[in-house]
Chains A and B, each alone.
Chain A
Amino acid sequence: MTDQTTATMEREGRANALGNPMLTPVGVRAQPGAARTRGSLGPVQRILLGALLPAIVLGAWWLSTSTGFFAPHQLPSPVAVVQAGVDYAERGLLGTYIAISTQRVLIGFIAGAVLGLAVGALVGLSKLGDAFLSPMLGGVRAVPSLAWVPLLLLWMGIGEEPKVVLIAIGAFFPVYTTVATALRHVDRDLVEAGRAFGYRGVALFFTVQLPAVVPSVAAGLRLALAQAWLFLVAAELLASSMGLGYVLSDSQTTGRVDRIILAIVLLALLGKLSDTVFGLAERWAVRRWA
């Protein structure tokens, strides 16, 4: 079995698990022989097939607008959307908006992820920490993201802080949950083997437990990054003067559908790009540590 099929199987195993709050325990491997049953596609065929549906959608969009099926104020043509982007770019706004949104996502993601790792480790490793923290965090987790917005605005004003904090909240929970669950399910036999050879406490954590959960943590971080983009829009929709979420809310009041579609496409591209980059890192982590 090649490394690639192993990685694919691992991913599939995790995709199932992520639909479920309980993640796949570390050490549980997908059954061999499952990867090839979906038919084999070369990398080029794969890319072509993946590009087919966006191409069809783009074609249909272009046709429906150029034939006058939709009026420009309902659905502007792809060309008009590109022009809206060029217009923003010429005024120097496109780069600024993308940069500020990306910056908010990255800062919030990093803050939330670091906190999620720390709290997740505490809950996953210590029964005391688990009993003390899990019920509260479970409650906080159930709060819909938008519910935080008014509170954060009142407390922190309309600067960068409330947005970054909201994104950090969004990024925190996937990391916290995956880390805590994965640590709880680290193969006890391996932990005991580590103990038998004199490892305990911090040394045991870095020698056995942390490496054992690296693949799950990578998956949690990837999920957190996606969640960070989600929360970015929630933050920017309500109180901002810059960023892609601002473009959305501003264009809604001015009725600029072309700009709305531009913002949506940019969010899709940025989200997909960051996810792809992270996916590569995750694949490496799975290959290296699983």
Chain B
Amino acid sequence: MTDVSAALGALASTAHPVRFSGLGRSFGRPVLRDVDLEVAAGEVLAIVGASGCGKSTLLRIAAGLDAPTTGTATIDGTAVDGVDPRCAFGFQQPRLLPWRSIAANVSLGLPRGTAAAAGRKRVARLLELVGLADAAQLRPREVSGGMAQRASLARALARNPGVLLLDEPFGALDALTRLKMQDLLLDVHAAAPTTVLLVTHDVDEALQLADRVVLLGREPGAEGSTVVREIVVPGERPRDRGDARLAELRGELLEGLGVERHAH
């Protein structure tokens, strides 16, 4: 990966704060309830929780891909209403258009109305950043899963987002590629400090990347998930993956997810 700050220098945008207040969402039965959460501009927030706890739903609501049943989601003080141009979304699967080249897929993320020449330049710079410059003209089916996921990240960054929403973006990758992608995300964030909401089921990933980790789960006797625990992660990034404090927090989070300590 080349010099990230140079590559992103012209891309950096204003990071926006995100706020969920009294937010609830039900699909017949409640999935989320009373979610009150504030994310500061430029913060990296990891959202962890068991499968089906509604963490993806929360992210989709922030993006405007879904709407809350009660309460509101706001970005920089204005309510999210429909797909929000200030957000960019990274999905668990790359979701690249198979008939477009990698470069053309990344350009899908460019804000509407970007001039063609400027857009091309920016796409080239982003591809360089994620190490795909040589794959620019390949089709998605011709590249590896890790490369496709990097293209997906570049597509999200092309939008120059004030809020970057990532839904288990590295979940489908092999362990080594995942670690590399995590480092890449940190590099990108250091160069262009956008607000990041990262949904993950990987506790280590959450502790490695985030300023703060929130655990979504059900309170006893209540239907629908809400924020049951909030952990401010100590230390500056990049963190030592073997830090003893992180190990302690890891045990705590896993316990919150219903995993016994001795198992780890």
Q: With CB as the reference atom, state the residue of chain A lying closest to B87.
A: A196
A155 at the interface (CB under 8 A from B): no
Question: Bound complex: CA of A258 vs CA of B83, how far in Å?
Answer: 68
**A154 CB to closest chain B CB, in angstroms?**
47
Question: Bound complex: CA of A111 vs CA of B72, how far in Å?
Answer: 50
**Count of chain A residues with a beta carbon within 8 Å of a chain B beta carbon:** 18
Given known A189-B91, A189-B93, A192-B65, contact A197–B99 (CB-CB < 8 A)? no
Which A residues between 200 and 252 are near B, CB-CB below 8 angstroms? 200, 207-208, 211-212, 214
**B240 CB to closest chain A CB, in angstroms?**
35
**A120 CB to closest chain B CB, in angstroms?**
20
Contact string, B87-112, partner A, CB cutoff 8 A, digits 1/0? 01101010101110000000011011
B63 at the interface (CB under 8 A from A): yes
Is A289 in contact with B99, judged by CB distance below 8 angstroms? yes
A266 at the interface (CB under 8 A from B): no
Q: Per a CB cutoff under 8 Å, which of A192, A194, A196, A211 touches B99? A: A211
Contact string, A251-290, partner B, CB cutoff 8 A, digits 1/0? 0000000000000000000000000000000000000111
Question: Bound complex: CA of A194 vs CA of B65, how far in Å?
Answer: 11
Residues in A with CB closer than 8 Å to B85 are 198
Interface residues on B, range: 10 to 19
Residues in A with CB closer than 8 Å to B155 are 197
Interface contact tally, CB-CB below 8 A: 43
A46 at the interface (CB under 8 A from B): no
B25 at the interface (CB under 8 A from A): no
Is A195 in contact with B83, judged by CB distance below 8 angstroms? yes
A58 at the interface (CB under 8 A from B): no
**A218 CB to closest chain B CB, in angstroms?**
13
Residues in A with CB closer than 8 Å to B98 are 290
Residues in B with CB closer than 8 Å to A208 are 97
Q: With CB as the reference atom, state the residue of chain B lying closest to A29.
A: B141
Given known A196-B65, A197-B109, contact A290–B99 (CB-CB < 8 A)? yes
Contact string, B139-177, partner A, CB cutoff 8 A, digits 1/0? 000000000000000010001000000000000000000
A52 at the interface (CB under 8 A from B): no
Question: Bound complex: CA of A290 vs CA of B83, how far in Å?
Answer: 28
Contact string, A135-159, partner B, CB cutoff 8 A, digits 1/0? 0000000000000000000000000
Given known A189-B93, A198-B85, contact A207–B99 (CB-CB < 8 A)? no
**Secondary structure of the B contact surface, majority rule:** loop
Is A198 in contact with B83, judged by CB distance below 8 angstroms? yes
Residues in A with CB closer than 8 Å to B95 are 189-190, 192-193
Question: Bound complex: CA of A195 vs CA of B85, how far in Å?
Answer: 11
Q: With CB as the reference atom, state the residue of chain B lying closest to A199.
A: B108
**B60 CB to closest chain A CB, in angstroms?**
9
Is B108 in contact with A288, judged by CB distance below 8 angstroms? no
Which B residues between 59 and 98 are near A, CB-CB below 8 angstroms? 63, 65, 83, 85, 88-89, 91, 93, 95, 97-98
Residues in B with CB closer than 8 Å to A193 are 89, 91, 95, 97
Contact string, A96-121, partner B, CB cutoff 8 A, digits 1/0? 00000000000000000000000000
Question: Bound complex: CA of A286 vs CA of B184, how far in Å?
Answer: 35
Question: Bound complex: CA of A166 vs CA of B140, how far in Å?
Answer: 43
Question: Bound complex: CA of A11 vs CA of B171, how far in Å?
Answer: 34
Is B97 in contact with A196, judged by CB distance below 8 angstroms? no
Q: Per a CB cutoff under 8 Å, which of B91, B97, B99, B112 touches A198? A: B112
30 A-B residue contacts at CB 8 Å?
Answer: A189-B95, A190-B97, A192-B95, A193-B89, A193-B95, A193-B97, A194-B108, A195-B65, A196-B63, A196-B65, A196-B83, A196-B88, A197-B88, A197-B89, A197-B108, A197-B109, A197-B159, A198-B83, A198-B85, A198-B111, A198-B112, A200-B83, A207-B97, A211-B97, A211-B99, A212-B97, A212-B99, A214-B99, A288-B99, A289-B99
Question: Which residues does A use to contact B, with CB under 8 Å?
Answer: 189-190, 192-198, 200, 207-208, 211-212, 214, 288-290
* A-B contact sample (11 more), CB < 8 A, given A189-B95, A200-B83, A207-B97: A189-B91, A189-B93, A193-B91, A196-B65, A197-B89, A197-B155, A197-B159, A198-B83, A212-B97, A214-B99, A288-B99
